């Protein structure tokens, strides 16, 4: 084991890292990044990596974009902070809300700004509860999420998240949050069930869940168009249409969590448009500012806005909001990012690059380690398995997916391992065709090295 650098020692002694094994990282230390340009980031030794995950699914415009830098600097010089509390306002927030209303794939009356995807989804829950109180149906409060969903880590959004690590020993989920089945055909379809039959069954199970709980107690359903952190799970094409019919039948408010899929990731402006999902509201974040500064937003339909007005008349205020809701610097960066997406036709470009990206991804599905290659647009994952024929997973203790990610880093590629041994890719939308080839060449080499290691250490054997 090589001794840790001075910077690494300072890190280990001072930082708590999110989503990190805090015990093993005391020995391994951190990978310290220093700068970025285009789709590349560089570590503190100057080694370049293709950022194959857009950071955390967010830097759609890549690194070092001078237009975004300038938008932030100009806004900081002009008005570095202003809030929206107590009827105060400012130009960037107004303009961004207008722009999001135009872009939104759902009828939108107003926009509420937050700073993170978690806050956006927390806000969604609070708005639904608040609305149903205003509408005189105080029992209609339960929220249905899905197993393997990822909606954030605050107390309420972590409750929506359907992944064990986000709940275990955190005393979550809170009451009133339910989890429906995960639409992952490869893992959860019954023998011989087609994608469409699987979707029909999931919709029927959702209806049964609502009936069992009592339709008068179920308020909302939230879903990512393509599930991200749960393993990049693309639902059957008919899934959202069928699930949507169930929600409408029981007057269940539908929320699309567009935190990853929003702004072009699937080759459409919003992910719901790609999957026939017609929600009542969307949550956006990440690519809204290309990750340059934190910002998120929630869209509010007119019917909900009317309910909020009723409450304001009764209570005297709308008692929700963050210091940095609609932060002018974040709003200025978001406006610039949206301008660039439109000007450079990046959504169309993502759609054009999709066949090459998905072909290279799916070609790796032939690899001996890969049980399933899956994706849509410029996002994908490879699920690593110990036995392709039986879909048997590796023993989690063998650390095969984390090992593959380490080999990829050695090859100069940042990817992530997700639950279920999925290795994910989600590069900046500005990636070029030549860079897509280079990304998958590096990923292929990393998989070959992983396979050599798995065979050497006999990690695929049944224990």
Ligand X SMILES: Cc1ncc(COP(=O)(O)O)c(C=O)c1O
Give contact residues for ligand X (rule: CB under 6 A). 56-57, 116-118, 121, 150-152, 224, 228-229, 257, 259-260, 285
Q: Which is nearer to ligand X, 152 or 244 (CB)?
A: 152
Q: Which is nearer to ligand X, 153 or 368 (CB)?
A: 153
Q: Which of 73, 34, 15, 84 is nearest to 336 (CA)?
A: 73
Q: Cβ 150 to ligand X, closest distance in Å?
A: 5
| Alpha-carbon torsion (234, 238, 244, 247), positive or negative | negative
Which spans in 161-194 are helix H?
185-188
Q: Cβ 120 to ligand X, closest distance in Å?
A: 7
Q: What is the distance between the terminal CA atoms of the chain, rounded to a whole angstrom?
A: 28
Q: Cβ 229 to ligand X, closest distance in Å?
A: 5
Q: Which is nearer to ligand X, 119 or 383 (CB)?
A: 119
Q: Which is nearer to ligand X, 112 or 394 (CB)?
A: 112
d(CA 115, CA 311): 24
d(CA 352, CA 357): 10
Q: Cβ 351 to ligand X, closest distance in Å?
A: 21
Q: Cβ 74 to ligand X, closest distance in Å?
A: 25
Give how far the C-alpha of residue 295 lies from the chain's centroid of Cα atoms, to the nearest Å: 14
Tokens of 319: 């008692």
Q: Which residues, in sequence order, are CB contacts of 228 under 8 Å at separation 6+? A: 57, 150, 259, 260, 261, 379, 424, 426
Q: Cβ 224 to ligand X, closest distance in Å?
A: 5
Q: Which is nearer to ligand X, 149 or 219 (CB)?
A: 149
Q: Which is nearer to ligand X, 265 or 442 (CB)?
A: 265
Give one DSSP letter per residue of 396-437, joined into a string. Answer: GGG-HHHHHHHHHHHTTEE-EEETTTEEEE---TT--HHHHH
Q: Which is nearer to ligand X, 57 or 292 (CB)?
A: 57
Q: Which is nearer to ligand X, 117 or 244 (CB)?
A: 117
Q: Cβ 261 to ligand X, closest distance in Å?
A: 8
Phi, psi of 425, rounded to the nearest 5 degrees: -130, 140
Q: Which is nearer to ligand X, 134 or 333 (CB)?
A: 333
Q: Which residues, in sequence order, are CB contacts of 345 under 8 Å at separation 6+? A: none
Q: Residue 299: CA atoms inside 13 Å, Cβ hemisphere, count?
A: 29
Beta strands at 281-284 and 296-300: parallel, antiparallel or unpaired: antiparallel
Instruction: Give me the helix-helix angle, 91-103 and 328-343, nearest 10°.
Output: 40
Q: Cβ 297 to ligand X, closest distance in Å?
A: 12
Phi, psi of 187, rounded to the nearest 5 degrees: -95, -35
| Alpha-carbon torsion (101, 103, 108, 114), positive or negative | negative
Q: Which is nearer to ligand X, 52 or 228 (CB)?
A: 228
Q: Dihedral, CA atoms, 199, 104, 136, 224, nearest 10 degrees? A: 30
For 428: left if phi > 0, alpha if psi spans -120 to 50, otherwise beta; the answer is: beta
Q: Cβ 122 to ligand X, closest distance in Å?
A: 9
Q: Cβ 216 to ligand X, closest distance in Å?
A: 28
Q: Cβ 128 to ligand X, closest distance in Å?
A: 16
Tell me the residue number closest to ligand X, measured at CB. 117
Q: Which is nearer to ligand X, 256 or 370 (CB)?
A: 256
């Amino acid at each position: 084991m090589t001794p840790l650098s001075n910077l690494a020692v300072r890190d280990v002694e001072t930082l708590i890292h999110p989503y990190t094994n805090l015990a093993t990282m005391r020995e391994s230390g951190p990978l310290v990044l220093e700068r970025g340009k285009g789709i590349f980031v560089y570590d503190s030794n100057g080694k370049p990596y293709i950022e194959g995950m857009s950071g955390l699914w967010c830097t759609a415009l890549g690194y070092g974009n001078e237009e975004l830098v300038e938008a932030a600097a100009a806004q900081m010089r002009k008005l570095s902070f202003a809030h929206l509390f107590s009827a105060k306002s400012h130009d960037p927030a107004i303009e961004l809300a207008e722009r999001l209303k135009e872009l939104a794939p759902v009828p939108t009356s107003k926009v509420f700004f937050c700073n993170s995807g978690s806050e956006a989804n927390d806000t969604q829950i609070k708005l639904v509860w608040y609305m149903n109180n205003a509408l005189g149906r105080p029992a209609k409060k339960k929220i249905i999420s899905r197993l393997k969903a990822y909606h954030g880590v605050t107390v309420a959004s972590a409750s929506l998240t359907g992944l064990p690590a986000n709940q275990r020993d955190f005393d979550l989920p809170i009451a009133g949050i339910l989890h429906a089945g995960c639409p992952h055909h490869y893992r959860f379809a019954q023998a011989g069930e087609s994608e469409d039959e699987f979707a029909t069954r999931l919709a029927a199970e959702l209806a049964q869940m609502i009936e069992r709980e009592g339709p008068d107690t179920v308020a909302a359903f939230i879903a990512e168009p393509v599930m991200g952190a749960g393993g990049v799970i693309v639902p059957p094409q008919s899934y959202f249409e069928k699930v949507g019919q169930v929600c409408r039948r029981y007057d269940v408010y539908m929320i699309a969590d567009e935190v990853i899929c929003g702004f072009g990731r699937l080759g459409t402006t919003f992910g719901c448009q790609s999957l026939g999902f017609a929600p009542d509201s969307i949550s956006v974040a990440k690519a809204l500012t290309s990750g340059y500064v934190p910002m998120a937003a929630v869209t509010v339909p007119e019917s909900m806005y009317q309910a909020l007005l009723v409450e304001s008349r009764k209570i005297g205020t709308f008692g929700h909001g963050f210091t940095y809701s609609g932060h002018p610097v974040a709003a200025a960066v978001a406006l610039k990012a949206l301008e660039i997406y439109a000007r450079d036709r990046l959504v169309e470009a993502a759609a054009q690059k999709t066949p090459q990206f998905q072909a290279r991804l799916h070609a790796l599905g032939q690899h001996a380690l890969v049980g399933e290659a899956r994706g849509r647009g410029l996002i994908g994952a490879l699920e690593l398995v110990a036995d392709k024929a039986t879909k048997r997973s590796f023993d989690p203790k063998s650390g095969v997916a984390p090992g593959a990610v380490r080999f990829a880093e050695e090859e100069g590629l940042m990817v992530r391992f997700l639950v279920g041994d999925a290795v994910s890719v989600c590069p900046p939308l500005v990636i070029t065709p030549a860079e897509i080839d280079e990304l998958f060449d590096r990923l292929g080499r990393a998989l070959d090295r992983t396979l050599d290691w798995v065979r050497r250490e006999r990690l695929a054997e049944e224990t």
